[in-house]
Amino acid sequence: MKYIVSLITLCLLSMSNASFAIGDNKLAENIAEEVGVSQEVARKMVDAFKEEVIAQLRDGNVVRLHKFGRFYVEERPASSGVPGTGEAREVPAKNLLRFQPSRQGNDSLN
């Protein structure tokens, strides 16, 4: 898993000059080219990375990637809200996926 995280982090940092959003397929294509593996293997690496991050967050862990940032869960408490109908209703509590970039991650963009 550490190898996969390192490869994905390297590819994400090397693509910092891109001015558009890319999806899983393009990310896997770039990783495959950078590492010298097939696109199918790279796609499995991307999927495994995402699944592992979510699994760790569900278990209550914070996922820290050295010189990149950290993924964590922010708990939004229940509250009352007024939708477009004007009726007050209870908004349930919710867990939100968050990412906080590291200083080194931000510095690598400039």
Our count of domains for the chain comes to 1
Q: What CATH number should be reported for the domain holding residue 33?
A: 4.10.520.10
Q: Which domain holds residue 49?
A: 2-107
Report the number of secondary-structure helices (H) and strands (E) in the chain: 4, 5
With both helix axes pointing from N to C terminus, report the angle between 2-14 and 39-58 in degrees, rounded to the nearest 10: 110
- Could you read off the pLDDT of 24-75 as tens digits, one per residue? 999 999 999 999 999 999 999 999 999 999 999 999 999 999 999 999 999 9
Instruction: Evaluate if pTM is beyond 0.85.
Output: no
